[in-house]
Amino acid sequence: MAAASPAGFDPRLAWPLGSFLALLFAVPLAMLLVISLQTGDGYGFGQYAKFLTDWFSLRILGGTLRLGVEVTIACLVLGFPLAWLHARSPGWAKSAITLVVLLPLLTSVVVRTFAWIVILGRQGIINNALVGAGLIDTPLRLLYTEGGVVAALAQVQMPLMVLPLVAALGRADPNLADAASILGAGAWRTWRTVVLPLAMPGIIAGCLLTFTASVTAFITQSLVGGGQMMFMPAYVLQQAIALGDMPFAAAISVIFLVCVLIVVALLSLLGRRSRAHV
Amino acid sequence: MNRRTLLTSALTLAAMRAFPGISYAQARPLVFATFTGSWEEAHKAILVPAYRKATNNAGIVLDPMLSVDQIAKVTAARNNPPIDVQLHDPGPGLIAIAQGLVEPYPVDRSAYYKDLLPVAQEPMGPAAFFQVVGLTYNPETIKTPPTSWADLWNPAYKGKVGITNLASTLGTGFLVEIARMYGGSEANVDPGFTALAKLKPSLSAVASNPGALASLFQQGQIDISPGNYNAIQILKAQGVPVEWVAPKEGAIAFRTTMHITKNSPNPELAFKLIEAALSPEVQTALMQEPYLVTPTNTKVKMSGAVAKDLAPDADTMNKKFKFQDWAKINEQRAAWIARFNREMAG
């Protein structure tokens, strides 16, 4: 093929995908907005007022965002050492770690979530082990608790955190850390002033992916959380399908979307500032 | 076949998948929205062959989905509905009728309609099956079988009771039944909510759907719950230790109705499918192992496990089953779901 230049491109090439996205993304989003503005007898912000003045709804929103933060922190704390190990390992170990990280992605989320039901159940692995070891007499309630949801989601979403971290740490020159220690910096200081800033783009990207994926993870939330714990995706479904209240469901979706976008914007801002720093 | 023809046929096939309207514009096979799981299996094995025989091998597609999803899909395309025959639980069935999504059933032409139990005779779409709800329990941990709904409140089962939320027919029907038990009714479920509040400390799980309830028995997470007779049969067949018993207050029965969709391009085939489902032959076959579906046609001679566990004949069924007034229930169900959200939040 005789391309003009490797860097040059024809903007018309973006047309197919552009029109595809416009048709299947922008139009439905606009429809969602219009539906959310419907009130009983006309158009207005009634549905939004209903949500924002209702403690129960606000608690669901707050609980969902808190869940996202908890899962993101868990993934970051557990994933960072793994990514660090990956960056510092020889070639064969790198492949092994990559395989272990990617392995969960090869199984469906439903299957992984059911595995967590087996692990957390009254007669699950954890309870059986604890009872067997004589540490507890009656099985603990682990399934259908927020802790259970966080644990399951952290495992399910872990690759989304580790992969960007691996990419960021892999790009960092290992000589930089060595240079820092030669210049007299301790392990902690090296990590804080050299490794962390270099890993920042990966951390931001990982947090973004993990957060958005876990607040919207309907399957894991409802299967491990159960019918007593309500998160935003299930709330939307309940209003739209069980109650047939499309305008309110649309308004909840828009509010949820805006909240997630705010978090995304804050994280991107943080990312831009950290890049400026490096 | 050269590359170009391969590409053309691949693109055509892809387009047909993406826009089924193209291929089905002239004559599409009958689309029957059954329910998922054992329903689909039973209908595939018994009802579809009977329909093919009655229609000289006409085409049919099963598209299993929940009642509420059927309503959403038909509402979204009223003039060109993607479903010809809808299958509904009592609550959504009445909503489909009220929203004008279904045709009246041609009762005069029906050979079987008059033989149905009175409660199954719905001129906007007759009931071909009953779903029966009683108590499900684990016989390995609960040695004396429960006899009453009140047994769920037995302190011995503390931390081992499961229920579902009100999004399901099962959950709402259960709430109404315990409300009735404590002096309430379909119009007033306050006593039911009071009783649920007392049940809260005993609850090990509030499942988000009845299917999840089944897996909780499998995991030993719960030992007793209100449960659907047919859902239990699948678990039992898998070797899970579960038993089902009708409480002495009477098992709750839901009618499962079949409706011809308004503006369906296949009204005659839809009628033939529903006729087949109402016929004593199909209902008798569905009543056998492993399906054990409760018949609605009084001409069916009750036999086997269904006769033993539920009712020996149609007359007993009519007397013993607790049918609920879903028109009344639908009036307030949204408010109950909101109330359940709040009062039962974990």
| Span B25-54, average pLDDT | 89
Domains of chain B are 26-130+254-323 (3.40.190.10), 132-253+325-343 (3.40.190.10)
**Taking Cα atoms as reference points, which of B74, B18, B76 lies closest to residue A24?**
B18
Contact in structure between B150 and B316 (CB atoms under 8 Å)? no
Nearest to B212 among A122, A223, A228 (CB): A223
pLDDT in tens, B160-175: 999 998 988 999 999 9
pLDDT of residue B332: 93
pLDDT tier at B3, thresholds 50, 70, 90: low
pLDDT tier at A1, thresholds 50, 70, 90: very low
pLDDT of residue B5: 60
CA-CA distance, B231 to B293, in Å (whole number)? 11
pLDDT of residue A278: 54
CA distance A96 to chain B (A): 33
CB pair distance less than 8 Å for B219 and A230:
no
CA-CA distance, A57 to B219, in Å (whole number)? 32
Nearest to A122 among B68, B166, B220 (CB): B220
Mean residue pLDDT of chain A comes to 88
CA distance B264 to chain A (A): 23
Beta bridge partners of B261: B102
Interface check A269 vs B, CB under 8 A = no
CB pair distance less than 8 Å for A227 and B165:
yes
CA-CA distance, A216 to A218, in Å (whole number)? 6
pLDDT in tens, A38-88: 987 889 999 999 999 999 999 999 999 999 999 999 999 999 999 989 988
User: Strands B127-137 and B85-88, how do they pair?
Assistant: unpaired
Neighbouring C-beta atoms of residue A206, cutoff 10 Å: 29
Contact in structure between B193 and B339 (CB atoms under 8 Å)? yes
pLDDT of residue B113: 97
pLDDT in tens, B193-216: 999 999 999 998 898 788 888 888
Name the DSSP letter for residue B312. Answer: S
pLDDT of residue B339: 92
Helix (DSSP H) and strand (DSSP E) numbers for chain B: 15, 10
Residue whose token pair is 């230790």: B241
pLDDT in tens, A178-236: 888 888 888 888 888 888 888 898 999 999 999 999 999 999 998 888 878 889 999 99
pLDDT of residue A228: 81
CB pair distance less than 8 Å for A143 and B334:
no
CB neighbour list of residue B140: distance below 8 Å, 6 or more residues apart: B241
CB pair distance less than 8 Å for B337 and A241:
no
CA distance B345 to chain A (A): 5
CA-CA distance, B134 to B246, in Å (whole number)? 5
Pair of tokens at residue A54: 């209702």
Per-residue pLDDT for B8 more than 70?
Answer: no
Q: Which residues on chain B are in Cβ contact (under 8 Å) with A121?
A: 216, 219-221
Question: Quick check: helix, strand or coil at residue B163?
Answer: strand
How do the residues of chain A divide into helix, strand and coil, expressed in percent and rounded to 5? 80, 0, 20
Q: Which residues on chain A are in Cβ contact (under 8 Å) with B69?
A: 241
Interface check A125 vs B, CB under 8 A = no
Could you give phi then psi for residue A54, rounded to 5 degrees? -110, 115
> In terms of pLDDT, which residue wins out, A101 or B17?
A101
CB neighbour list of residue B242: distance below 8 Å, 6 or more residues apart: B136, B137, B138, B139, B217, B227, B232, B235, B236
Interface check A205 vs B, CB under 8 A = no
pLDDT in tens, B227-280: 999 888 888 888 899 999 999 999 999 999 999 999 999 999 999 999 999 999
Q: Which residues on chain B are in Cβ contact (under 8 Å) with A229?
A: 345-346
Q: Which residues on chain B are in Cβ contact (under 8 Å) with A240?
A: 72
Nearest to B346 among A228, A238, A242 (CB): A228
E strand map for chain A: 38-39, 42-43
What distance, in Å, lies between the first and last C-alpha atoms of chain A? 39
Nearest to A226 among B206, B333, B334 (CB): B206
CA distance A85 to chain B (A): 37
CA distance A203 to chain B (A): 33
pLDDT of residue A208: 94
Which conformational region is residue A246 in: left (phi greater than 0), alpha (psi within -120 to 50 degrees), or beta? alpha
CA distance B305 to chain A (A): 31
CA distance B294 to chain A (A): 26
CB neighbour list of residue B112: distance below 8 Å, 6 or more residues apart: B275, B278, B279, B280, B297, B299
CA-CA distance, B204 to A138, in Å (whole number)? 13
Q: Which residues on chain A are in Cβ contact (under 8 Å) with B95?
A: 244
CA-CA distance, B70 to B142, in Å (whole number)? 39
Name the DSSP letter for residue B249. Answer: T
pLDDT in tens, B57-114: 999 999 999 888 899 899 989 999 999 999 999 999 999 999 999 999 999 999 999 9
CB pair distance less than 8 Å for B342 and A56:
yes
Question: Quick check: helix, strand or coil at residue B95?
Answer: helix
Pair of tokens at residue B139: 């016989």
Q: How far is CA B244 from CA A66, A228, B223, in A?
A: 41, 25, 12
Report ipTM (2 d.p.): 0.72
Interface check A111 vs B, CB under 8 A = no
Per-residue pLDDT for A166 more than 50?
Answer: yes
Q: Which residues on chain B are in Cβ contact (under 8 Å) with A144?
A: 204-206, 346
- What fold characterizes domain A48-277? MetI-like fold (1.10.3720)
CB pair distance less than 8 Å for B206 and A123:
no
**Taking Cα atoms as reference points, which of B43, B14, B241, B22 lies closest to residue B129?**
B43
| Span A251-274, average pLDDT | 91
pLDDT of residue B22: 47
Complete DSSP assignment for B252-300: EEEEEEEEEBTT-S-HHHHHHHHHHHHSHHHHHHHHSTTT-PBP-BTTS
Instruction: Count how many pairs of residues, chain A against chain B, have C-beta atoms within 8 Å.
Output: 80
Per-residue pLDDT for B13 more than 70?
Answer: no
Q: Which long-range contacts (CB under 8 A, 24 or more apart) does B170-174 make?
A: B170/B133, B170/B210, B170/B226, B170/B227, B170/B228, B171/B210, B172/B91, B172/B329, B172/B333, B172/B336, B173/B133, B173/B252, B173/B254, B173/B324, B174/B133, B174/B226, B174/B252
Pair of tokens at residue B273: 């499918």
Contact in structure between B205 and A144 (CB atoms under 8 Å)? yes
Per-residue pLDDT for B2 more than 90?
Answer: no
pLDDT in tens, A77-126: 999 999 989 988 888 999 999 998 888 888 888 898 888 988 998 888 89
